[in-house]
Amino acid sequence: MKKTSTRLADGRELVYYDLRDDTVRDAVDRRPLDRTVTTSEVRRDALLGDAVAIASHRQGRTYHPPADECPLCPSEGERLSEIPDSSHDVVVFENRFPSLAGDSGRCEVVCFTSDHHASFADLTEEQARLVLDAWTDRTSELSSLPSVEQVFCFENRGAEIGVTLGHPHGQIYAYPFTTPRTALMLRSLAAHKDATGGGNLFDAVLERELAGRRVVLESEHWAAFVPYAAHWPYEVHLYPKRRVPDLLALDEEARSEFPKVYLELLRRFDRIFDGRDGGENSAGEPPTPYIAAWHQAPFGTLEEFEGVVREDFALHLELFTIRRTSGKLKFLAGSESGMNVFINDVPPERAAERLREVASS
């Protein structure tokens, strides 16, 4: 992998990640951009103890542009975009409309490919490995910033999820705090460690799931399963079998095997509603909308989680869709939004069975 860092016209950082070591990246951003001005601030909810990012400048962000005006496609001729070069493998840049900025953290965009009409599932294993390497490098870089406590790499796909740019891309949020969801995991981890005299909750969960009937696929270094208490209609958790706290700690064997396993999972998601390799299904629906979210240990202090150290946390990816059946979405209504109590219409065992049924031939 070759890494080339440059700057956009308004001062934001852009980084190319290339498969070839001899690739030259010297294109200049020719747009007449002013310096980006953001209004991001983080406010803490006194009753719930969580944090909310207030970012009013995002109201003006680009919203569903036509394909020939996509800001994530490479620049071509006089059509100038966020990516100055005419092609790329993987590219990462600071978000022009960030939810978090300055002392409140940082937001980046990850473009997986220059092909506007592709999806992550269309990547080759070599391309998917490059994305993994980019995620890892960005985790390393962002975690070194003094304002950053946790790094979150994720992908939103589909208009139903709320995606406003159709180009295949993901995002990275660098938070100045430990996120509420991670804090819940750490509290459960601490309680289990205390109750079992040092046992690890992540290890116990993985062992239990591998012995059960919700396993979706398993390889030498990775395991994917539908969790016992899945919140979403189709939800899969992907774990490296050797517990590590973050992407930086993955060994080469797990890194090499990841692309094949992850691409297979994504392709199964595209088939669970009778789609054909990401195309529309018989009901005319678009490919399965999903969120893919990497959970990594915070880089800040864990003093409030008594007895827990970073190495106790288990890196894992959670992949889920809000579609519960063909033509129907799972909405977060009264119980979910009002009380954070999820109601799942699809039994996890049936979801796992369905995801095994649609394995590649």
Active-site positions read 169
- Enumerate residues 6+ apart whose C-beta is below 8 A from 188: 201
Nearest residue to 164 (alpha-carbon basis) of 91, 66, 84, 50: 66
Nearest residue to 320 (alpha-carbon basis) of 198, 196, 155: 155
DSSP character for 83?
A: B
CA angle 311, 314, 207 (to 5 degrees): 115
DSSP 28-76: ---S-PPPP----EEEE-TTT--EEEE-GGGGGS--S--GGG-TTSBPB
Q: What are the φ/ψ torsions at residue 346 (nearest 5 degrees)? A: -115, 115
Q: Cα(40)–Cα(143) distance, rounded to whole angstroms?
A: 19
Q: Cα(292)–Cα(224) distance, rounded to whole angstroms?
A: 13
| Cα→Cα distances 60→55, 79, 207, Å | 11, 21, 47
CA angle 244, 289, 279 (to 5 degrees): 115
Given a contact cutoff of 8 angstroms between Cβ atoms, the answer to whether 332 and 161 are in contact is: no
Given a contact cutoff of 8 angstroms between Cβ atoms, the answer to whether 111 and 91 are in contact is: yes
Q: Cα(156)–Cα(266) distance, rounded to whole angstroms?
A: 13
